[in-house]
Structure 1
Amino acid sequence: MIDHVTLQVSDLARSKLFYEKAFAGLGYRIAFGDEGTFWAFDIDDGLFEIMQAETKPPLTRVHVALRVKSKADVDEFHRAALAAGGRDNGPPGPRPEYTPNYYACFILDPDGYNIEAMIDEVA
């Protein structure tokens, strides 16, 4: 299942206003963000995120996070993606800066897109 998708936009303020209006009828609202950097919209069981184009690595123009069932799945995705020719963009491990129980890894695919496998376990 896709947990969240992040798109790089050329004008964050313009895109924020666009998506606020476009998503209003669906009941999607801003969940959190950082003025001038990114905004995350709560879309039912996931997030739709936009970020300012000048954001520096490790972020990429497109970011897709796959919600998996276990930490072992995160570890296996990382191993298999590296074996398939992906490049490491963050090894498996805790990401307490996101939430206390977030565990993830990040791989750059052949086009340089940031693909994440993650689990956010409830304590």
Structure 2
Amino acid sequence: MIDHITIEVSDLERSKLFYEKAFAPLGYGLSFGKEGVFWACDVGKGCLFEIQHTGEKPPLTRLHVAFRVSSQAEVDAFYQAALDAGAADNGAPGPRPDYAQNYYASFVLDPDGYNIEAMINEV
């Protein structure tokens, strides 16, 4: 299952207002964010659609996709399989307490340089 997708936008405030209005009929709304950096919209079933802007500094990638998995072992297996398939390391499997208390993830860059994540956030 896709947990969240993050895209880079050129004007964060304009995009925030756009998505607030566009998502309103769908029942989606802003969930959290950080002024001037990113906003996350709750799009149902624990999934998020995120927009980011990094200003002068280019983002890690213009697109980021995180897949929610069932166990830490699956995070580890995804990471190794992706490396074996030719991905570049972008964050070995491990806890990410700065994201959430029980967040465990790994990150790879796919052949086009996009940041792909496998994660679990056990409550």
TM-score normalised by structure 1 residue count: 0.94
Show the counterpart of 2:87.
Answer: 86
Q: CA deviation at 1:118?
A: 0.2
1:13-58 CA distances to partner (integer Å, 9 max, x unpaired)? 110000000001111111111111100001112000000153545x
Partner in structure 2 of residue 8 of structure 1: 8
User: Counterparts of 2:78 and 2:113 in 1: how far apart (Å)?
Assistant: 17
Shift of 1:8: 0.5
Q: By how many angstroms is 1:71 displaced?
A: 0.2
Q: 1:94 to 1:49 in 2, by over 3 A?
A: same
Separation of aligned partners in 2, 1:77 and 1:56? 27
33-42 or 45-54: bigger deviation = 45-54
SS in 2 for 1:32: strand
CA–CA separation in structure 1 for the residues paired with 2:25 and 2:67: 26
Deviation at 1:98, TM superposition (A): 1.0
Percent of residue pairs bearing the same amino acid type: 68
Structure 1 spans left out of the alignment, 5+ residues:
none
Give the letter aligned to residue 119 of structure 1.
I
| 1:10 match: secondary structure | coil
C-alpha displacement at 1:61, in angstroms?
A: 0.3
1:1-123 aligned within 5 A: 1-45=1-45, 46-54=47-55, 56=58, 59-122=60-123
Structure 2: any 5+ residue segments left out of the alignment? none
SS at match of 1:63: strand
The alignment partner of 1:105 has SS state of: strand
TM-score by length of 2: 0.94
SS in 1 for 2:26: coil
